[in-house]
Amino acid sequence: MSENKQNCPANAMFAKWRRAVDIRLYKVYGITIDDAGIDDKRLTNHFQSAETPNDFVYWVGEKYDLDPKTDYLWHQR
């Protein structure tokens, strides 16, 4: 009997990490993983390297020269 991959703790950890990346991408750049076109192979490589979600999002921003959405927000005085 083969183990269900969705119940594997490593997959649960990856799913949690992936969700944290998606949330951080949206908070910082206003985009999602899907918007950015980042595939699971790239995500898996960074996850397996023990990169934090914040570090990965920073790397994406640097690699693609993204501007944080705070650069475009008007603040009330």
pLDDT in tens, 17-73: 999 999 999 999 999 999 999 999 999 999 999 999 999 999 999 999 999 998 776
> 6 or 55, which is more confident?
55
pTM: 0.82
Degrees to nearest 5, angle at CA 67 with 63 and 69? 135
Residue 26's alpha-carbon distances to 11, 20, 35, 46, in angstroms, are 22, 10, 10, 18
Is there a contact between 6 and 16 (Cβ–Cβ < 8 Å)? no
Q: Where are the domains of the chain?
A: 5-72
